[in-house]
Amino acid sequence: MNHKAQVQLETYTVEDTQQFGQLLGKWVKQSGDPLCIALIGDLGTGKTHLSQGIAKGFGVTEEITSPTFAIMNTYDVDRTHLYHFDVYRLDDISELENIGFYEYTEDCVSIVEWADKFSDELPDETLWIYLTRIDDTSRSITLSSDYLTKDDLVDIGGPYVVGN
């Protein structure tokens, strides 16, 4: 994670992580620009719970689930879309083309769980989010980007920012 801007967050409950996701989802929706949100972290660190918060903040009203088997779920909000990928089960970049991965991640708002499997395939317009487990209920979350500024990241992290 060696990007131009980086900010460190911590959450102490699963609700905190979802709340942070909502802040991010709202921010993205308001910006109106495409953004690829790349989630990186071991199993159980909170990628799917964070995605649920992002979707809620973006305006998705239905319950969102991890697209581990579907690979991609699409949510419609007003006239915009949110594309939620879980690329854990994909092995080859040729499979990405088949599912429209490049188009959706470059031109739309997307969330990609297990983005580190295909980090070279993601656009410049990416917000990298690294999740690590501190203990049962706490998570360290690093926001990192070449595209968003440090001010953007501080804005997005809100009360969960712990230092940078």
Ligand X SMILES: Nc1ncnc2c1ncn2[C@@H]1O[C@H](COP(=O)(O)OP(=O)(O)O)[C@@H](O)[C@H]1O
Residues that bind ligand X (CB under 6 A): 11, 13-14, 16-17, 41, 43-49, 66, 137-139
Q: Which helix (H) or strand (E) holds 146?
A: none
**Whose Cβ is closer to ligand X: residue 13's or residue 149's?**
13
The single residue among 47, 56, 84, 139 that binds Mg ion, judged by CB under 5 A, is 47
Report the C-alpha gap between 19 and 34 in whole angstroms.
21
Q: Which does 138 bind (CB under 5 to 8 A by kind): Mg ion, ligand X, none?
A: ligand X
Residue 122 beta carbon to Mg ion: minimum distance, rounded to whole angstroms:
18
Residue 144 beta carbon to ligand X: minimum distance, rounded to whole angstroms:
17
**Whose Cβ is closer to ligand X: residue 46's or residue 122's?**
46
Buried b or exposed e, range 129-159, using 16+ CB within 10 angstroms:
bbbeeeeeeebbbbbbbebbeeebbeebbee
Reduced 3-state DSSP string for 32-90: CCCEEEEEECCCCCCHHHHHHHHHHHHCCCCCCCCCCCCCEEEEEECCEEEEEEECCCC
Q: Say whether residue 49 binds Mg ion (CB under 5 A).
A: no
Per CB under 5 A, the segment of 31-39, 44-52, 54-62, 145-153 that binds Mg ion is 44-52
Q: Say whether residue 66 binds Mg ion (CB under 5 A).
A: yes
